Amino acid sequence: MPGLIGKKVGMTRIFTEEGIQVPVTVIEAGPCPVVDVRSEEQDGYQAVQLGFGAQTAKRATRAEIGHAVKAGLEDAPRLMR
């Protein structure tokens, strides 16, 4: 399943060779580290937990900080659910 995970930055426009303007969305596609891998043997289902960006330690829960430390990340990312 191909896809792109990102954060919407804003809107802008581009022009075709004929001079027609086309509205486009600007997306910041940052690194999405794999924070946790769930397996059927241990958790009963298969899943991958992805992170995006970084959040301050003040906003991260202890569980999110623990996931980040276990994954070897410096900052706790926002988790994709």
What structural domains and CATH numbers belong to the chain?
7-79 (3.30.160.810)
pLDDT per residue as tens digits for the range 31-42 = 888 888 889 999
What's this model's pTM, rounded to 2 decimal places? Answer: 0.60
Task: Assess whether pLDDT exceeds 80 at residue 80.
Answer: no
Of 12 and 69, more confident: 12
Q: Among residues 41, 32, 33, which one has the least CA distance to residue 70?
A: 33
Number of other CB atoms surrounding residue 51 within 10 Å: 25
Per-residue pLDDT band at 1 (split at 50, 70, 90): low
pLDDT per residue as tens digits for the range 44-63 = 999 988 888 778 778 888 88
